[in-house]
């Protein structure tokens, strides 16, 4: 797909539903008693993988391609059925890690696999704590990666643990908390920095006994979850591409409607404001236990900043687009404490550095991040997205500001989290 320079960006966008929240709504809806209605569900490939897996586990899920409303007739915590075939999570790390927690508490065996990218990503980080809880889980190739085989626990029930996670990962935390639904006694997770807390918020909405205190969260099992309505806010990780584009393309002004601004996800807004961005909220409200707002962004003169420490988990998926933004900021941007980027859908440090360098940027990779000297004009190049949706979207935005053509290979991988991304971008692009 080819991208060219645009003059300005103007208009209003409603980004699709939040990916993390959509996954969790399908999972908890399937485990609840009664009906759960999810509105503004993200029809991205990852969330459709979660629906497919839960259907294989016997959940009754009404979902069609033409509607973003999904209705689930829950099976109850102990109502899932053994699947006839291997569960395939596709490209979705969230599905793989969260479902493993749930499946560790079931009374049947199951094999989980996924695409080539998922089979390279680290699963030792969930295998180890789940085993401590008494789960019978193994990596079939003995390399701490998928495929995973999960058998019924040899214990009568999993046992609660206090897990001090070495990584600030919502996927690890959520996996353990979901296993905790099936454990005897309390399950507690402490993480080095607070990661996204959608699982905690939604479990509370479904009636679970869960209590958070700083970076520590504890779940006490109770006999059932209760189905409910879940309105899904727009995904701030998808909005991030338009926020960045609005800031760097001259004379732009964009309104992004109904975006989730959960404080464990809004790091992108903090760092943009710190570098001089004109970003405002309107219509701030609360839906389904999550804060939302319309975001108004205007073209701004940005300066380089340092990004590291506890803010990293709150903007982890936005670092690729932040690297693009840094190329247009005056001075140096330092991104550190972000080595988790190496184990995402692609190695996002290497892929960003390689491709932005091709476009003429002054960027180098460090052990745990990147150094970017802003202000060098970008020129078009041929970009391999490595089939990573966040890489493809980041370079589509870089292409709007580059001299000449930017050609993105495997551009359709945006289907993972934002199938209509290119149409929405085209609609607001003015020449």
Catalog residues that contact ligand S3P under the rule CB under 6 A: 20, 94, 169-171, 174, 195-196, 316-317, 340
Give whichever of 33 and 317 is closer to ligand S3P, judged by the CB atom: 317
Contact criterion met (CB below 8 Å) for 259 and 294: yes
Q: Computed from CA positions of residues 414, 417, 419, 420, in that sequence, does the dihedral angle turn out positive or negative?
A: negative
Q: How far is the CB of 138 from ligand S3P (least distance, A)?
A: 21
Give the phi and the psi of residue 25 in degrees, each rounded to 5: -65, -40
Structure tokens at 41: 């569900």
Q: How far is the CB of 390 from ligand S3P (least distance, A)?
A: 8
Alpha carbon 362 to its chain centroid, in Å, reads 28
Rounded Cα–Cα distance for residues 417 and 406 (Å) = 22
Q: How far is the CB of 234 from ligand S3P (least distance, A)?
A: 15
Q: How far is the CB of 100 from ligand S3P (least distance, A)?
A: 13
Rounded Cα–Cα distance for residues 270 and 46 (Å) = 28
Give whichever of 178 and 254 is closer to ligand S3P, judged by the CB atom: 178
Q: How far is the CB of 249 from ligand S3P (least distance, A)?
A: 26
Give whichever of 101 and 380 is closer to ligand S3P, judged by the CB atom: 101
Q: How far is the CB of 2 from ligand S3P (least distance, A)?
A: 27
Give whichever of 361 and 370 is closer to ligand S3P, judged by the CB atom: 370
Structure tokens at 378: 């970008």
Give whichever of 172 and 397 is closer to ligand S3P, judged by the CB atom: 172
Contact criterion met (CB below 8 Å) for 264 and 215: no
Give whichever of 52 and 390 is closer to ligand S3P, judged by the CB atom: 390
Query: Facing residues of 70 across strands?
Result: 38
Question: Taking the CB of residue 229, how many other CB atoms lie within 10 A of it?
Answer: 13
Question: Taking the CB of residue 124, how many other CB atoms lie within 10 A of it?
Answer: 11
Which residue is nearest to ligand S3P, using beta carbons?
Answer: 20
Q: Is 364 exposed, middle or buried (0-12, 13-18, 19+ CB in 10 A)?
A: exposed
Q: How far is the CB of 186 from ligand S3P (least distance, A)?
A: 22
Give 94's contacts (C-beta < 8 A, 6+ positions apart): 19, 20, 23, 46, 50, 171
Q: 159: alpha, beta or left, given left = phi > 0 and alpha = psi -120 to 50?
A: beta
Give whichever of 134 and 313 is closer to ligand S3P, judged by the CB atom: 313
Rounded Cα–Cα distance for residues 198 and 17 (Å) = 13
Contact criterion met (CB below 8 Å) for 251 and 299: yes
Q: Which of 46, 235, 266, 317 is catalytic?
A: 317
Rounded Cα–Cα distance for residues 255 and 248 (Å) = 15
Residue 197 falls in the annotated catalytic set = no
Rounded Cα–Cα distance for residues 121 and 92 (Å) = 10
Query: Facing residues of 56 across strands?
Result: none
Catalytically active residues are 317
């Amino acid at each position: 797909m080819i991208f060219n320079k645009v003059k300005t960006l103007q208009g209003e966008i409603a980004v699709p539903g939040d990916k993390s929240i959509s996954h969790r709504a399908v999972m908890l809806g399937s485990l609840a008693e009664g009906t759960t209605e999810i509105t503004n569900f993200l029809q991205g490939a990852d969330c459709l993988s979660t629906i497919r897996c839960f259907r294989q586990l016997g959940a009754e899920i009404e979902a069609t391609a033409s509607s973003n409303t999904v209705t689930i007739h829950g099976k109850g915590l102990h109502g899932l059925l053994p699947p006839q075939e291997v569960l395939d999570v596709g490209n979705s790390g969230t599905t793989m890690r969260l479902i493993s927690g749930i499946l560790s508490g079931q009374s049947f065996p199951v094999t989980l696999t996924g695409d080539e990218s998922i089979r390279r990503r680290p699963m030792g980080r969930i295998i180890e704590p789940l085993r401590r809880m008494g789960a019978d889980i193994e990596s079939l190739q003995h390399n701490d990666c998928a495929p995973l085989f999960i058998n019924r626990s040899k214990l009568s029930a999993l046992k609660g643990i206090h897990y001090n996670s070495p990584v600030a990962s919502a996927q690890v935390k959520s996996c353990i908390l979901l296993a905790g639904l099936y454990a005897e006694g309390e399950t507690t997770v402490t993480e080095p920095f607070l990661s996204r807390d959608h699982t905690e918020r939604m479990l509370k909405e479904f009636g679970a006994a869960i209590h958070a205190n700083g970076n520590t969260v504890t779940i006490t099992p109770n006999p059932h979850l209760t189905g409910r309505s879940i309105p899904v806010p727009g995904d701030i990780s998808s909005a991030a591409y338009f926020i960045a584009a609005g800031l760097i393309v001259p004379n732009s002004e964009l309104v992004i409607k109904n975006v989730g601004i959960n404080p464990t996800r809004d790091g992108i807004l903090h760092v943009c404001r710190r570098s001089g961005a004109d970003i405002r909220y309107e219509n701030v409200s609360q839906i389904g236990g999550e804060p939302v707002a319309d975001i108004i962004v205007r073209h701004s003169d940005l300066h380089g900043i340092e990004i590291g420490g506890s803010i990293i988990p709150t903007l982890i998926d936005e670092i690729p687009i932040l690297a693009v933004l840094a190329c247009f900021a005056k001075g140096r941007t330092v991104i550190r404490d972000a080595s988790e980027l190496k184990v995402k859908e692609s190695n996002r440090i290497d892929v960003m550095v390689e491709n932005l360098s091709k476009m003429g940027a002054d960027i180098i990779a460090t052990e745990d991040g990147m150094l970017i000297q802003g202000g060098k004009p970008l020129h078009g190049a041929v970009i391999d997205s490595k089939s990573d949706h966040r890489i493809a979207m980041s370079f589509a935005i870089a292409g709007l500001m580059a001299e000449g053509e930017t050609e993105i290979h495997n551009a359709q991988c945006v289907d993972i989290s934002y199938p209509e991304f290119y149409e929405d971008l085209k609609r607001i692009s003015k020449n």
